[in-house]
Chain A
Amino acid sequence: MKKVIMGNHSVSHGVMASEVKVISAYPITPQTHIVELLSEMCGNGDIDAKFIKVESEHSAMAACVGASAAGSRAFTATSSQGLLLMHEMLHWAVGARLPIVLANVNRAVGPPWSIWTDQNDSLSQRDVGWLQIYCESNQETQDTIPQAFKIAEELQMPVMIVLDAFFLSHTYEIVDIITKEEVRKFLPEYKPEIKIDTKDPHSFGNLGGPDVYMELRYMIQEAMEKGIDVIKRVDKEFEEVFGRGYGLIQPYRCDDAETILVTSGTVSSTTRAVIDQMRDEGIKIGSLKIRVFRPFPFEEVFEVLSKAKKVAVIDRNISFGNGGIFYQEIKSALYGRTDIPIVGYIAGLGGRDITPSVIREIADKAIGDDKPERYINWIGVKK
């Protein structure tokens, strides 16, 4: 059934269709609609789940940890300060190998207080070990939830799905709403081998000395690496049932492109419009959307970008003292394998619009500058 719904509600519908058993969350703008609708769905019986209304995000993730350890499918949603407050428990979910799914609405971090979008909240959690998938449309957002559970449960790893504040969370689009019955054909019931069970008692997470810790960490990295193929396969299986797939990355008009703009999130759609316009002018340009950020799809990215003459990375985030985070990742994907210039552009922090003209400015700069002096360029900063 097709409906016009907001981005946040597309998350809720994905969660409902995935038959989540325990939800625990705390309100924060611009995520709140997700859990408001889920509360309603729990209340009227659309979803058979327990909703634990905790007193903080730290506790929201802790409650998910408990529920998931008990063998139930668990979900939470948050944003910005809330995600940062969860930090300790994000690590816990990884070390404990719990397939929790979290939806994070990308919101800038204070101070100054901001409710508008940028990616510093989720990207500052880059190294905790959660898989991260960045969505671009409401349809993709909804569809990524059951995909995320399937990936998470197979890898025994938590998955974060990420959407831009307002540009996606509050934007209404047509969504083909998936149902439980349909999703059952794609996502099997969650039946973990190891769980809290008095008939098979184990101690989980007790002291592990230097003789075991490293192996456990190795296994996490192994799961991440395996993740690339699992995500690809799960996406195909989803496509077989629903006719929609999203891939690890999405190249657009890249085949003969001399310049490629690398994007993520909603900027990707705006960029495609600019690419079309520039193609009409005869400029050989394309774009590459990074959908899956962790595990990072090194080979797939290399495959596309190595054919270009120049790569420009648009980052709605900044790692202070270094540069854009996607920029760093792209560089590491190409390192030692090509000498194409890769230039980073920081734009749209704290919700500043990245309009077609901003993207055009970046594209023109990238094309015009054969030997860029700076590899980290700020776009639109007022003097």
Chain B
Amino acid sequence: MKPAVMPLEELMGSGHLACQGCGATQAMRFALKVLGPETALVIPACCWAVIDGTFPHSAVNLPIYHTAFETAAVVASGLKAGLEMRGDTETTVMAWAGDGGTFDIGLQALSGAAERNDDIIYVCYDNEAYMNTGIQRSSSTPVGAWTTTTPVTNYKREPKKNMIDIMAAHSIPYIATASTAYPHDFMAKVKKAKSIRGTKYIQIFAPCPTGWKMAPELSVKSARDAVTSKVYPLLEITEHGQKLKVWKDFEPTSVRDYMKVQGRFRHLKDEEFDQIEKDVEMKWQRLVAKEKMLASIPGLIE
């Protein structure tokens, strides 16, 4: 990853309502730096519905349309169509939703928009649970995690849903993962998404210190460790799902170390950490093999 200059443009003010160390808030700030003022946002129910501020205040100097929990993608589709019919073809419409609004309740509408290849950017800030309602599990919550609906006596047994594969199955032009610890990588991906017509999906790993029972100052570190421990690979899927690029240019770190600073994994025993480490490695190997496989098919891409 090339070092880059942080754009000075600031479309987010400081008067927002987020908790300390909120990854979702950092992510928005970075995204807006590259999207610029000709952007309209659609935000469903999620922490960001609150972070923006209470009427008549807004922490973001852009038009924001707040909408129902499961409708981010399709309201963005409608908004884009409405703007175009009004003669505005320039505005970038970005849906900005949490993992619950994406992996769970908003999946149907997102799938619809992606299948139609509507010209929107959809960003899911992934904090791996329903945080706004007080830390309940979502299908993005990783295996082993505590949440208020997966108590330590019955912590989450199911693996995190592979949302990236689901989006790849829609053959949309651009898919990427990102992490708040790598803002330049994220901003480059947002910039690329802005330049492409059709549905673009970016999923950014966005730590929630409050929900993960972790010190706020560990927000960025854990976002970095998630990537270098291969828990949250940084990747891009282009050419309508036919090309995969996985970022591997890092010193691998330990999955256990990544998890141990987070209270949500505190109850796990050594054997359980062992199993999780194995799973992470297996998924990583599979991902890298897939990358190779796709690259080896000649003439796949026109």
> Interface on A for B, CB 8 Å cutoff?
21-22, 24, 48-50, 52-56, 58-59, 62-72, 74, 88-89, 92, 195-198, 200-209, 212
Contact = CB atoms under 8 A, between A and B. Distances in A.
Interface of B: 37-40, 42, 49-50, 52-55, 58, 60-68, 70-71, 74-86, 88, 91, 108-109, 111-112, 115-116, 118
A70 B79 contact: yes
A202 B37 CA distance: 12
Contacts of A68: 78, 82
B67 A92 contact: yes
A89 B78 CA distance: 13
B66 A62 contact: no
A74 B78 contact: yes
Given A55-B109, A72-B82, A63 B74 contact: yes
Contacts of B64: 201-204, 206
B63 A50 contact: no
Given A55-B111, A201-B63, A71 B82 contact: yes
A202 B58 contact: yes
Nearest to A201: B63
B82 A58 contact: no
Contacts of B55: 203, 206-209, 212
B53 A206 contact: yes
Contacts of A89: 68, 71
Shortest Cβ-Cβ A-B pairs, 4 listed: A66-B78, A70-B82, A67-B82, A55-B112
A22 B77 CA distance: 11
Contacts of B116: 52-53
A69 B60 contact: no
A192 to B, nearest CB: 10
Contacts of B68: 62, 88-89, 92
Contacts of A208: 54-55
B78 A203 contact: no
Which one of A54, A59, A212 has the greatest number of beta carbons of chain B within 10 Å?
A: A59
A63 B81 contact: yes
Contact of A52 (B52, B71, B81): B81
B92 to A, nearest CB: 9
